Amino acid sequence: MLYTSTYRYNGEYKRLDITAVSKDPLGMIFAPTWDLVLSYRRNEITAEQYTVIYKQLINIRFTQNKREFDRLANMIFKENVVFICYCSKGVFCHRLLLKDRFIDSNRYKNKYSEPLQYGGEI
């Protein structure tokens, strides 16, 4: 099952750091660029513009890293994974965009006997 949380999450589930400064090799694939984060923080782009750019970035990375996307989907299907970043709970955040990418993906809906599940923000 997939969950999302702030960076402070210290529970029993596997954390996947998807921050722009992530050192996790898998998490770095799903992280936004630092320029994108700064542009949003400085109000140079809107949440809608950020969403478009981040989705484009993830689509490009998907074509370059299908194996890693599939590996993460397998992890989500078999165990509990938490996408974490620094954004506060209840605010616009890329971790929720990435969650939707996996949960809504026809690639994974067709691959597993049941859809990937989202357990919510913890």
Say how many C-beta atoms besides its own lie within 10 A of residue 34's C-beta: 11
Instruction: Quote the Cα angle for 51-2-78, to 5°.
Output: 135
What integer pLDDT is reported at residue 86 of this predicted model?
A: 96
Q: Where residue 12 falls among pLDDT bands split at 50, 70, 90?
A: very high
Task: List pLDDT tens digits, range 80-121.
Answer: 999 999 999 999 999 999 999 999 998 888 888 788 899 999
Contact 81, 72 (CB under 8 A): yes
Task: List pLDDT tens digits, range 15-73.
Answer: 999 999 999 999 999 999 999 999 999 999 999 999 999 999 999 999 999 999 999 99
Residue 104: C-alpha distances to residues 9, 33, 35, 99 (Å): 24, 23, 27, 8
Radius of gyration of the chain (CA): 14
Query: 67 burial class (0-12, 13-18, 19+ CB within 10 angstroms)?
Result: exposed
